[in-house]
Structure 1
Amino acid sequence: MTKTTGAASRLAKALAIVLGTEEIPLRLRAWDGSEAGPPDAPVIEFRSRRALRRILWSPGQLGLSRAYVAGEVDAPGDIFAAFKALSSAGKFAEPGPFRPLTPAELWTLFRTAVRLGALGPNPSPPPEEARIYRQGQRHSKRRDAAAISHHYDVGNDFYALVLGPSMVYSCAVWENPAGHEDDLPAGLDAAQQAKLDLVCRKLGLKPGMRVLDVGCGWGSFALHAAQHYGVTVVGVTLSNEQALLARKRAADAGLTEHIDIRVQDYRDVDDGPFDAISSIGMSEHVGREQTPHYVARLHDLLRPGGRLLNHAISWNAGPTSPDPDSFIPRYVFPDGEMLSLGEMVTALESGGLEILDVEALRPHYALTLRAWVRRLEDHWNEAVGLTSLGRARVWRLYMASSALGFEAGLTGVNQVLVQRRGGAQPPLRRTEWL
């Protein structure tokens, strides 16, 4: 029989302080088998006192995230329902950096930890946490390479499990939402192919054109553009593992004469001009301060009249400063930074590029992320074997919470199509690519 008294009731009060809410919107299960909270709410398990100790030392998103990655906190049922309930509570529902606890709140949390026997030294962060702050100046070439390696050099086989045959790691374009979440993985590859083709059409690709793919990943866009549009593609990435697989895929498709995959910083590309440039899910790594330089570099690599498509996640929840102590920069995208759509459009226009089209794809990314989570969960044991249990938990947490962020409208994703001034006149209507 489930205990209704015990550690869970005290733990619930501690978690309510951290969340900044009167009552927790969760069914809390503690390490001693006791439970507290609404009986029909999603379940969160605290499997160890160490989880509370992490929260005491880092009271907020980071402490909870570390406990989840370490396996000390778990969501044994529907992870989306549990995280949605958690993110709807108090401080977690507020966009921007987590508000620190008051001295009175910290003192109450401390007393609760004493009563539960959870006091002790600050546990070491799980080994999956990035430590690239030691790599030199932010957004230097060396530090950017370290940040990319942390995220993308997890293993190509692991990514294949999550992404599916398309090997595309950005928002897909769905014709229709699937009838059930379990149906999403089956439609994922077609949705990704639709996105790749949409980018090709927006860029106006034609046989013989020379295209630059910035942040080319595993070469999926390069393969699609070369196979279906007869162009030659230079793809650049900072990930050695991505480049190895992209080159193999190009060779297997008989396209090595049309696809050149390089391990190269986009700032070092010096063999322009290109007829078109694609940047799909890359500019989030650039950072706000470097964005004008990013735009200027791509402008100079583009021939007059050539088009650039910038496909990027945006922050929709108003002005805020990035929080370096939140989960995403610590575990997922070190030094990553989301700009608002307005900031990105302003940067592109200020860099001498003419806006041709803006398309918002926010609901599409929520569907894409749910498909990735389902694929990860369906191949869980294999994914853990290819990386580590902690790394698989990082990806599950980040993709599920990101899906909820897109569904809530806190984040968006946009394709901004621009053209360098001069050369051919832009199309009169969108019919060229719709």
Structure 2
Amino acid sequence: MADAASRLHALVEQLLGVPLPVRVRAWDGSQAGPPDAPVLVVHHRRALRRLLFKPGELGLARAWVAGELDIEGDLYLALDLISGLVWERGDDTRTLARALGDPGFRTAVRELLKLAGPPLPPAPPREEVHRRGHLHTRRTDRRAISHHYDVGNDFYEIVLGPSMVYSCAYWSDPGAGLEQAQDDKLELVCRKLALTPGQRLLDVGCGWGSMAIHAAREHGVRVVGITLSQEQAAYARKRVADAGLTDRVEIRVQDYRDVTDGPYDAISSIGMAEHVGSERYLAYARDLYALLTPGGRLLNHQIGRRPERDETGYHVDEFIDAYVFPDGELAPVGDTVTQLERAGFEVRDVESIREHYALTLRRWVARLEDEWARAVRLTSPGRARVWRLYMAASAVAFERNRIGVNQVLAVRTPQSGASGMPLRSRVWQ
């Protein structure tokens, strides 16, 4: 097993058919690859078994979460380099079928199996979710939300900071602080919704209450915030009480499908629609449309992915689905606009803020890394590693335009056609 890194590096390059852009350090201390590149540290041969039995993203994720793989050097550069080998190779099914007919390829696989050791892969890390039952029922949605958001409010305080806003900030200055950028995002949403004192706002997926508190305090509206997370609701209610806003803000543990006390003058849905699912999205849009008064506005803030050629259906990311957002689905922004308009909305504005999310995620990763030991104590080593990987990889994905985030402003325009929108674009009143 001497010089495992050289063997591993050569075999991977042979299997991929391209140079490996990172340096490798193996479990025996040996190293191979470009001397100035980030280092992929393979702590244990189990990582190879995971990759051989589950090639691609999910195998890599399992080894990372289990602590069998690590990266030294620039994490973002390493993820960008590796993503070109994993996430951007497209549908490799036919490529793999052709490769299996190549005797050299088969020999390389056999050699890699020998290097990996005992044949059976270990069980997935305990942080991995195993899907059960139908998608996007009330019960499965509650379970999925609980998996992601009930990690612990103390953990989220580390990552998000005092604002406790878990969505893309809005940066007028890249050098500004995270708190200011999040406050600017909340204010931007309020301006787009044209909130005025006395109106009713429904905040769907209210999180820890930041949007509800901001809208009530700064714009004098009455807010109902709904979430499926018990921990979020308890935290948000305390924040509302501490702000002296219990007469204007109500936080409920409630599914959006169960809200029946409309009409509302405005609805904000910030970072929630990704959880709805393709099969439910039109019904979700119709439910929100029915809750608005004529002339009422919806601000839908949602991550979207780039469309693929000749695609059908929605894309599900294996790592994200297994470890981060179970049952989450990303759609191209054009699909979102179409579904909103099919529900009856008039879409009046779409603003892409993709680069803003990359800045936000890098700040969250820095906060997590600064308090790594405490984050591990509050959750688990595997869970902290999940969050670091998903946030850093997502930052790279936003920077490289693999995914985006859009604020879609839609109006329940009355039959008279009077939308109430300003004549000039992006003049929010």
TM-score by length of 1: 0.92
User: 1:284, 1:37 → 2: CA distance?
Assistant: 39
SS of 1:93's equivalent in the other structure is coil
Taking the TM superposition and a 5 Å limit, the aligned residue runs for 1:32-431 are: 32-89=28-85, 91-94=86-89, 101-102=96-97, 103-104=100-101, 107-108=106-107, 110-131=109-130, 133-134=131-132, 136-178=133-175, 187-319=177-309, 320=311, 326-422=318-414, 425-430=420-425
Displacement, 1:330? 0.8
After superposition, what is the alpha-carbon deviation per residue over 1:6-50, rounded to whole angstroms, capped at 9, x for unaligned? 1112211343366x3421000010000111111111110000010
CA distance in 1, matches of 2:95, 2:318: 12
Please give the alpha-carbon distance, in whole angstroms, between the structure 2 residues aligned to 1:98 and 1:362. 31
The answer as to whether partners of 1:205 and 1:231 remain within 8 angstroms in 2 is yes
**Secondary structure at the residue paired with 2:294?**
strand
Percentage of identical aligned residues: 57
Other structure's SS at 1:346 match: helix
Give the letter for the 1:359 counterpart: E
Provide the C-alpha distance between the structure 2 equivalents of 1:83 and 1:98, rounded to a whole number of angstroms.
23
Deviation digits for residues 187-220 of structure 1, max 9, x if unmatched?
Answer: 1110000000000000000000000000000000
Q: Per-residue displacement from partner, 1:78-121 (whole Å, max 9, x unpaired)?
A: 211111111123x4323578888443587345412343252321
The offset of 1:63, in angstroms, is: 0.6
Does the 8 A contact of 2:278 with 2:314 survive in 1? no
Whichever residue aligns with residue 44 of structure 2, its letter is S
The answer to which of 298-307 and 419-428 deviates more is 419-428
Task: Deviation per CA, 1:195-250: give whole Å up to 9, x if none.
Answer: 00000000000000000000000000000000000001000101111101000000
Structure 2 unmatched runs, 5+: none
- How many angstroms apart in 2 are the aligned matches of 1:401 and 1:10? 28
Task: Name the SS of the counterpart of 1:304 in structure 2.
Answer: strand
What is the CA distance between 1:74 and its match in structure 2? 0.2
Q: 31, 49, 53: which one pairs with 2:27?
A: 31
Stretch of structure 1 that moved more, 424-433 or 348-357: 424-433
| 1:182 aligned partner | none
From the superposition, tell whether residues 201 and 269 of structure 1 become closer, same or farther in structure 2 (CA, over 3 Å). Answer: same
Unaligned segments of structure 1, at least 5 residues: 179-185
Distance 2:360 2:181 in 1: 9
Instruction: Say whether the 8 Å CA contact 2:266–2:297 is kept in structure 1.
Output: yes
> Match for 2:120: what amino acid?
P
- RMSD value, Cα: 2.0
Equivalent AA in structure 2 for residue 210 of structure 1? R
Please give the secondary structure, in 2, of the residue aligned with 1:430. coil
Aligned-pair distance for 1:433? 2.0
Contact preservation (8 Å) 2:316, 2:329: no
Q: State the alpha-carbon separation in 1 of the partners of residues 14 and 272 from structure 2.
A: 38
Give the whole-Å Cα distance in 2 for the aligned partners of 1:122 and 1:172: 41
Q: Is the 8 A contact 1:96 1:322 kept in 2?
A: no
- Per-residue CA deviation, residues 129-163 of structure 1 (Å, 9 max, x unaligned), is 012x21x2111111111111111110000001000
Once the two structures are TM-superposed, the CA of residue 61 in structure 1 deviates from its matched residue by 1.0
- Give the Cα separation in 2 of the matches to 1:271 and 1:338: 29
CA gap of 1:13–1:61, structure 2 versus 1, over 3 A, is farther
Q: Number of matched residues?
A: 420
* Cα distance change on mapping 1:306 and 1:98 into 2, 3 Å: farther
Checking the alignment, whether the CA contact within 8 Å between 1:215 and 1:282 is kept in structure 2 is yes
1:425 shift after superposition: 2.7
Q: State whether residues 164 and 189 of structure 1, in contact with CA within 8 Å, keep that contact through their aligned partners in structure 2.
A: yes
